[in-house]
Structure 1
Amino acid sequence: MKKLFIRIFDFFNTVESKIAFYPTLLAITGFLIAVIMMFAEQHGISREIMDVFPLLMVEDGDTALSVLSACLGGLISLMVFSFSMVMLLLSQASSNYSPRLLPGLISDKRHQFILGIYLATILYNIFTLFSIEPSEDKYTLPGFSVLLGIVLTIICLVAFIYFIHNISQSIQINNILDGIFVSAKKRLERLIKSEEGQTKTFPDTSNWHAYPAGRSGYFQNLSINNILQICEAEKTKIYLTIPKGLFVLKNATFLKSEKPLDDKVVQSIISNISFARGELIEDNYTLAFKQITEIAVKAMSPGINDPGTAINAVDYLTDLFALRMQKQDNGIIVHDEKANLRVAVVTFKELLFNVMASLRTYCKHDPIMVAKLLWMMKYLQSQLAAEDSYQLIINEEIKTLLEQAKNSFDTETDVSAIEKMYEA
């Protein structure tokens, strides 16, 4: 049952990130409302409302057809324009910042809900038009259905105004960076909280029995309780060699066991692990470091030439690295005082190197960016939660950055300024 639940949960997370998910649900809702209103009209709901509020009802069939036809045509044009704005946003974000940003922008629920409201209202008005006859008098005309269609059209106009405001905010790089940062921060905080009080050690796995995954894809999620139950039943410990969020190759070693396992047990373990064809920050916080780094690198390219954006990106990276220093690098999962499962993690050293390698390559010639990166390193060194090993890693990166920067600067003034800043 738990296995089925986690698969349904992963499937929902994957589908929810698609741009057509909520529009499809709301469009079906609009169709159902139209069917319900047809049923209500057959039971005389318009006649009863007309006796109480006659001014709210349309009393002529031709007028009702004209009003709904005008609303329908306007809404279709509005929806086409809105979709064009979304595509423009995605195109600009991909060309100016990073293609990795597209999944996060596509999964913006506000855009999906607005497009869904358009579709729901269009479908409602179409099926309401079917129920109107020009020759009908005011007592047989579905006046309440027509009134509801007009109200829904007005709601669409209000939603369009909000859509224009939201799309203008979404394209701003500060808001994009902040959205990435908030998602990664929430994920990191959950991981840090789950590691509280875990001081168990894990044996060396170099001589353990290795097994491939048998499938390829991004390691998205796993059912920890089910795998731990298998460990208890087989009297073994298990080590997953690929960090969560990274790509798993079909025939590469993915699973190691302290004791040999038969094929059925291996398949049972693999069945409790979900694989996907894309990456989400909610499942893999390291993707946030990649995205922010790519934004900074793209901003420093000659085609963009936007060092201000790169500086903002370094600010967000600094905060995320400081939070990451509070997380352990062992990946051991403790349950009932037993450490039977370990999942490989992207270590702090690997994460810092991957970020700094890209930034050094594209920013080493700019004294301002070098100074900003030094400031980031100095801030990370000052964190009280930093372990000694983290301090050594940061020192190595500082030395490498200074060495490359000195070889890239054109003037001695820049070199001396960076040396003074480092000494200070």
Structure 2
Amino acid sequence: MPSIISTDQLRFYINRLRERLWVKPLVACLLSIAAALAAKLADGTELGLILPTIKPEPVETILSIMAASMLVIATFAVTSMVSAYASASSTATPRSFSLVIGDDRSQNALSTFIGAFIYSIVALTAMKNGYFEAAGRFTLFILTAIVFGVVIITFVRWVDSIARLGRIGTTIAKVEHATAQALMLRQKAPTLDGIPVVSQVHGWAVFASHVGYVQHIDIAALETWARKNEGRVVIAALPGTFAAPGRELAYISTCSGEITENDKQQVIQSFQIGNNRLFDDDPRFGLVVLSEIACRALSPAVNDPGTAINIIGTLVRLFVLWNNPPSKTEDEHAARYGRVEVPEISIHDMFDDAFTGIARDGAGTVEVMIRLQKALQSLVLIGDASMQEAAKHHARLALKRAQLALNLTEDLATVCNAAAFASTDVSPRNLQGLSGDGVQNHRAP
């Protein structure tokens, strides 16, 4: 396999680093130490002859105040962030935790506070040991003033952010953004820069070596293997697929027809398998998470149909985005990896992920059912043939669930009117089959 990491693989690793809380604080600490010691460079110049003279005491006082306060603020920041993370997991869904913990503003704030603490400790120690001369002290004073200003601005902005972090609306917005990014990424490469599946005979099956979810596929590595062995690779498990020792990851074939165990291991290593699904390369996971948030809102313990209605609108926006891919040039249409065949994501699977749970748990709530039918109707009007078929199918399923759950004939009639677009047989007159207590006596189309 190639020793050089592809751009797509590098993006995957960078996104994983962004989910680690220690990365940015570590970088901030290193920069703080460098900045504190860099002031010494001014002593080797003639700036000491023209710069004002500053006594060590004022600078030491400012640094002492900063050192004493920054650690307290950093501790307060960590406590607030942990509380926000717990709130996001309990009010929305635990699957959104990776997005909340990857919040840039909170990580930047924590990094700034810890970096300022390290800077003040290093600079104060250097000052008390006479490390700086006149030019160095003045430079350090200017750097300290800048750091102090950055800390104040960061704190004010962070307080506004942490007040919203973990709230259900903020979590939904983060999940929507992550899902939209994944959808746009898949729009640009529906087959992950490979080619559509065309092989009738797939070849030797390659199975997962352990249990987990496919998080990422290194298509560049698979292409390298295929070129080296004059073979082809047919992907059988897209990102998001649950992998197990009996589940095929791919089918491989070579010109000679010989497949060694080493060949299989190289192909398996191109599949990143982990315990959890990730948003990056798995657009369906974002739809699943949004559906989970809506289902939790519809549970009897929460009883918040407004959140479910908000989620339905979010799902419509995402499907509209999916239905309007950006225009591509001829070069962009060409596949980068011609020996790797990749199936495209199914719109029916996406609709199953998005709407099945909402239709099931919201079947007894008339306002949710009406909004769901209107949402599906809007997707029928703007979607292509596949999206229209999927939307009508789910509209009929949602109506069947409503017929079993709604007890009031008038409510069911309203939902039936909203679902009339899905079938000519769906209309209020079909409610004549209802008994007086609202129990359905006939089967809807």
TM-score category, normalised to shorter length: 0.7 to 0.9
CA contact (8 A) 2:19 2:98 kept: yes
Match of 1:194 among 182, 189, 194: 189
Q: What amino acid sits opposite 2:240 in the alignment?
A: G
1:80-134 alpha-carbon deviations (Å, 9 max, x no partner): 1112221121111111111111111111222212211111111111012212349
Unaligned runs of 5+ in 2: 326-331, 422-445
Q: 1:286 aligns with which of 284, 287, 294?
A: 284
Is this contact kept in 2: 1:325–1:348, CA < 8 A? no
- For residue 270 of structure 2, the aligned residue among 261, 269, 272 is 272
Work out the CA distance in 2 between the residues paired with 1:222 and 1:42: 53
Matched positions, count: 409
Contact conserved, 1:21 with 1:112, CA < 8 A, in 2? no
Q: What is the TM-score with the length of structure 2 in the denominator?
A: 0.81
Partner residue, 2:28: 26
Q: Any conservation in 2 of the 1:121–1:152 contact (CA below 8 Å)?
A: yes
2:152 is aligned with 1:152: no
Equivalents in 2 of 1:319, 1:201: separation in Å? 29
Which residue identity lines up with residue 24 of structure 2 in the other structure? Y
Q: How far apart, CA to CA, are the structure 1 residues paired with 2:46 and 2:152? A: 27
* In the alignment, structure 1 residue 395 sits paired with structure 2 residue 392: yes
Contact 2:240–2:277 (CA under 8 A) maintained in structure 1? yes
What SS does the aligned partner of 2:341 have? strand
What amino acid is aligned across from residue 22 of structure 1 in structure 2?
K
Structure-2 change in CA distance of 1:108 and 1:3 (3 Å): farther
Helix, strand or coil for the counterpart of 1:188?
helix
Match of 2:402 in 1: 405
For the residues of structure 2 that align with 1:336 and 1:356, how far apart are their CA atoms?
A: 33
Aligned AA (1:385):
D
The answer to whether the Cα contact below 8 Å between 1:98 and 1:295 also exists between their aligned partners in 2 is yes
Where do residues 167-316 of structure 1 align in structure 2 (5 Å cutoff)? 167-195=162-190, 202-204=198-200, 208-250=203-245, 252-258=247-253, 259-316=257-314
Match of 1:330 in 2: none
Q: CA deviation at 1:261?
A: 1.6
Q: 1:137 to 1:90 in 2, by over 3 A?
A: closer
Task: Provide Cα deviations, 1:125-184, integer angstroms capped at 9, x if missing partner.
Answer: 101221234999995993542453243123211110010112234444344333322332
Structure 2 counterpart of 1:355, one-letter code = A
Structure 1 residue 240 displacement after superposition: 2.1
Give SS of 1:18's match: coil
Q: Which moved more, 1:22-31 or 1:130-139?
A: 130-139
Rate the CA distance shift 1:11–1:339 in 2: closer, same or farther, 3 A.
closer
Question: How big is each residue's C-alpha offset from its partner over 1:65-93, in whole Å with a ceiling of 9 and x where there is no partner?
Answer: 33322221111121111122211211111
Say whether the 8 Å CA contact 2:197–2:234 is kept in structure 1.
Answer: no
Shift of 1:294: 1.2
Q: Which amino acid aligns with 1:299?
A: A
Q: Is the 8 A contact 2:88 2:167 kept in 1?
A: no
Deviation at 1:383, TM superposition (A): 2.3
Normalised to the residue count of structure 1, the TM-score between the two structures is 0.84
* Cα displacement (A) at 1:208: 3.5
Kindly indicate whether the alpha-carbon contact (under 8 Å) linking 1:68 and 1:150 is maintained by their aligned counterparts in 2: no
Whether the aligned pair in 2 keeps the contact of 1:326 and 1:386 (CA below 8 Å) is no
Residue 191 of structure 1 deviates from its aligned partner by 2.3
Label 1:326 to 1:16 Cα distance change in 2 as closer, same or farther (>3 A): same
CA distance change for structure 1 residues 253 and 142 in 2, over 3 Å: closer, same or farther?
A: same
SS at match of 1:365: coil
Cα 1:127/1:417, change in 2 over 3 Å: same
1:94 aligns with 2:89: yes
User: Counterparts of 1:302 and 1:88 in 2: how far apart (Å)?
Assistant: 25
Distance 1:378 1:251 in 2: 40
Q: Distance in 1 between matches of 2:135 and 2:87?
A: 52
Quickly say closer, same or farther: Cα 1:131–1:359, change in 2 above 3 A: same
Query: Where does structure 1 differ by over 6 angstroms across 4 or more consecutive aligned residues?
Result: 134-138, 196-199, 333-338
| Structure 2 match to 1:5 | 5
Q: 1:310 to 1:317 in 2, by over 3 A?
A: same
Letter in 1 for 2:112: I
Provide the identity percentage: 16
Contact 1:97 1:298 in 2 (8 A): yes
CA deviation map 1:355-385 (0-9, x unaligned): 3331122100100000111112211221252
AA aligned to 2:296 is K
Shift of the 88–47 alpha-carbon distance from structure 1 to 2, 3 Å rule, reads same
**Structure 1 stretch 195-204 or stretch 312-321: which is displaced more?**
195-204
Kept in 2: contact 1:90–1:102 (CA 8 A): yes
User: What amino acid is the match of 2:303?
Assistant: N
Change in CA separation of 1:45 and 1:270 when aligned onto 2, cut-off 3 Å: farther
| Distance (whole Å) between structure 1 residues aligned to residue 91 and residue 46 of structure 2 | 54
Indicate which of 73, 79, 88 corresponds to 1:78.
73
Q: Distance in 2 between matches of 1:130 and 1:99?
A: 44
Deviation at 1:316, TM superposition (A): 1.0
Counterpart of 2:41?
40
CA contact (8 A) 2:195 2:335 kept: no
Unaligned runs of 5+ in 1: 328-332
Contact 2:33 2:119 in 1 (8 A): yes
1:281-302 deviation digits (Å, cap 9, x = unpaired): 2221112101111111111122
Does the CA contact (< 8 Å) of 2:180 and 2:318 recur in 1? yes
What is the deviation of 1:303? Answer: 2.5
Inter-partner Cα distance in structure 2 for 1:89 and 1:35: 36
